[in-house]
Amino acid sequence: MPEFFSYTQPPFDCLTRAERNRLEAASDIEYFPAGSTPIAAGTAVDALYVIIKGVVDEIEDGDIVASYREHDCFDGRALVGGTAVRAFAVHDDAIVHRIPRDLVLALTRSNPLFGAWFYQDVAQRLAALAQHAMQGELQSLITARVADAPLRAPVWLAGDACVLDAARAMKDARTSSVLVRGVRGDGLFTQSDLRDLVIAGADAATTTLADVAQYTLLTIADGAHVAEALLAFTRHRVQRLPVTRDGGIVGVLEQIDLLAYFSNHSYLVAAQIERASDVDALAAAAAQLRTLIGLLHAQGVRIRLIASLVSELTGQLQQKLFELVFPPESRAHACILALGSQGRGEQIVPTDQDNALIVADGYAGPPLDDAAAAYNAALAGFGYPRCPGGVMLCNPHWRQRQADFARRLDAQIATPDGAAMLELAMWLDAAPVAGNAALWPPLHQRIVAASRGNDAMLSALALPIVQFAAPASLFSRLTGSDEHVDLKKAGLFPIVHGLRVLALQAGINATNSQRRIDALVDAHVLAPAFGRDLSEALSFLQALQLRLGLAQLARGEAPSYRLQPAALAAIERELLKDALGIARRLRQLVQHRFSLQHF
């Protein structure tokens, strides 16, 4: 093969020397003039083409859905089935390498990573190739399991052993806890329990462990990711987790031991939030949270785990801020809701703050205007930009009594115009983060009840997925270094909003997009294969958004969704094409389901 064939480009970068020799011996070079069609829809595909020079467009229903240039290959996925689904037309005169189908299939069988490029299942393709794309980064935490972390051997005592026995056992084993076997099942006794008993004046020589052990154990499987253990420590504020295998306890994971292994100090963020006595101290914790996000991303932690951890810590931050700025007598009578991506538990790098305040109807305490303003100002100081549309609790429109919100929701549902439906979409992602969470469910159930069988409202709610659709050829035409793609408009919004509307129609209460996918598959609204595709596409787009946002913050810029595809590696551009294609498929499904084809 000529020297200008690049083995630095996927999928050929993963071939061995012997496989490269086979490929070079079997390939030819062909020329296709502009206007010709190397592959027509419905025809047999007998070769893989790799572009040396020129531009080739992929066509579906008359639209250009992708364009291929130097080093790109086509039509890899049709090669597996043997028949092209879409046509490929030459836009600019093209010179290409022609690699026989039989050889490509043989290489897919002998080299699984090479084969991932040609998977028909987009979820497999995204998962396999995204992993390959990150090989240059730290990956210890992608594969690390709890079993890989430094576990302490379990120290067991019988339930009839005394507290003094437990103290001696902890000293001998140099551990801070013992496990207890008793008639009530397995229990745990810790140094903190020992301290409390001594302070209470209990007799350590006569008090049995069976009477004082903790029997409601929070455990973690040894096959879980260490990041999941980190999330458990942060969410439940515990110091240790018994580790299980096949239902039995095989060790104890101490938080302090995990920190030595997993040095991102997220527990320090949670502790810093809890100890904060004023807004300035809380701001320091928020700054540490931003540092943590960068560390987790650099260490290759899965996007869903990063989002879960950040959502948990952000919720704790906002609860503490609520306690600091709202009058004590108001806290049982008010509920702060996170809306938008934070409400869904998907905000990692904040692009803006979206929130609301529900005030109980019977509240007669001090006015909350100043507290609401202080709350939003503090969040802005923490690095959560103010919402350009004013969706913040300092805005009286988003700070009302429960009955007033109920009347507004009723009016919006009765008159489902564009503005009303955009606002309703925000309510559907709401999640309580501070105050009296019981104030929200009655309002949410009001929306769910009103939507049952209400085809007009559901269609109006779904309409923005068509109105704000990016053109089919958007990504395919992004060739110049100054051109951008809006990740939100082209990919994230159609997926998130499509799932939101389908979930409401199906009576699904989940707000997180990944949980909505799982529930829609369980309800047979989405096919399992399409559900997997959506899950992987969403994760890829969110990971790309995270990387983009961190880079923008490092340059002192405000986070945005504007991405330059030219700055991506070739493998990432291919993954982006796949992900945007999945978003387009969901948009088409929603259009059909809610009869929006003519909009």
Q: Among 57-61, 65-69, 396-400, name the most confident range.
A: 396-400
Sketch out the chain's domains with CATH numbers: 12-120 (2.60.120.10), 146-261 (3.10.580.10), 279-446 (3.30.460.10), 464-593 (1.20.120)
Q: Exposure string (b/e) for 254-276, b if CB count within 10 Å is 16 or more?
A: bbeebbeebebebbebbebbeeb
Q: How far is CA 123 from CA 129, 308, 341, 495, 533, in A?
A: 10, 21, 23, 15, 4
- The string of pLDDT tens digits covering residues 96-106 is 999 999 998 88
Model's pTM, two decimal places?
0.68
Q: Structure tokens of 237?
A: 């504020």
Taking the C-alpha atoms of residue 566 and residue 71, their distance in angstroms, rounded to an integer, is: 14
pLDDT at residue 116 is higher than 90: no
The pairing of strands 334-338 and 355-359 is antiparallel
| pLDDT for res 235 | 84
CB 304 within 8 A of CB 541: no
Under the phi-then-psi rule, with left for phi > 0, alpha for psi from -120 to 50, and beta for the rest, what region is 346? alpha
pLDDT band at 599 (very low <50, low <70, confident <90, very high): low
- The string of pLDDT tens digits covering residues 523-567 is 999 999 999 999 999 999 999 999 899 888 888 888 888 888 877
What letter does residue 385 receive in the DSSP assignment? P
Peptide bond into 11 cis (omega under 30): yes
pLDDT band at 128 (very low <50, low <70, confident <90, very high): low
CA within 13 Å, CB half, 375: 32
pLDDT at residue 30 is higher than 50: yes
| pLDDT for res 95 | 93
Compute CA 51 distance to the chain's CA centroid, rounded to the nearest angstrom: 35
pLDDT band at 68 (very low <50, low <70, confident <90, very high): confident
> 107 — phi, psi (to 5°)?
-70, -35
CA end-to-end span of the chain: 50
Mean residue pLDDT across the chain: 86
pLDDT at residue 478 is higher than 50: no
